[in-house]
Amino acid sequence: MKYIFLLPLILFCNSLNAQDTSLQPIKAALCNCFEKNKSRKPLNLNKPLGDCIDKAFGDNVQIVVDKAIKKFGKDAKANFEHFALDISAEVMVETVSTCDVYYKYMDSSRFYQVSKNKDSLRKMINYRTYKMDRSLSANFYYFRAEVYFELGDYTHAIKDLDSSVITNPTDYRGLELKGNIMEVQKDYEKALRLYQKAYDIKHAVHLEDLKEYPDEYADGEELSLLIEIAVTKRKMKEQKQNP
């Protein structure tokens, strides 16, 4: 349903003196990169994001290095890659509120709009209903809701999503997709609450996973939810300014 923003950052740290720095140059570089490339229409919507992230951080590695040293001291090198991913997520989320072209890109690339291929979607609805009759799994409710969403049938999508959440309360995807529907309907307050709840669930699961797999710290789905929260907050602000 959406593009997941995994960050292809490989940064290396040398022993340098710590100094007080700001993330503003990286945010500005990210925004400028999108401004320069806003006329591009790539086949892969993740490509301009990856290219601009690489450039923004590649041109400002020293900022992240200094921050890592300031936070971790002599252990900075061992923690640097993890820290760089945290910083990149922070930059991506915060840039939504300050950079118009980046905000519009993030908004438009997050989930599909209503599809024109309705016959194909109706056939998929029938197929997934057939499968659901044989399994009351939360996944089937969610998967059918996805199709209803693309069909523009939000009433049935919400009904399935509510069933999905009841069947599996820890499945954040149902809350997230319901948030997408609320956002499309311009009910940004409800969308924000749903995104935040989805993030809280996903983050709690991620923390549990880290206990077993401590090296797998990057989570693109969490970042995607943080982006949705940031975009929705900006939409709420604009809605209040222009009722």
Range of lowest pLDDT (35-39, 120-124, 233-237): 120-124
Domain extents in the chain: 24-108, 118-241
* φ, ψ dihedrals at 181, nearest 5°: -65, -45
Whether the pLDDT of residue 192 is over 80: the answer is yes
Q: pLDDT digit string (tens) for 108-117?
A: 777 655 555 6
Contact indicator for 134, 28 with CB cutoff of 8 Å: no
Between 1.25.40.10, 3.90.1310.10, 3.30.365.10, 1.10.3720.10, what CATH number should domain 118-241 receive? 1.25.40.10
Q: What angle do CA 179, 122, 170 make, to 5 degrees?
A: 35
pLDDT at 112: 59
pLDDT at 28: 93
DSSP 8-state secondary structure symbol assigned to residue 169: T
pLDDT at 11: 37
More confident residue, 205 or 189: 189
Whether the pLDDT of residue 190 is over 90: the answer is yes
Tokens at 242, concatenated: 């222009």
* φ, ψ dihedrals at 48, nearest 5°: -60, -30
Alpha-carbon dihedral sign for residues 195, 216, 79, 205: positive
More confident residue, 110 or 221: 221
CA atoms within 13 A on the CB side of 110: 26
- The pTM is what? 0.78
- Mean pLDDT of the residues in the chain: 78
- In angstroms, how far is CA 135 from the centroid of its own chain? 30
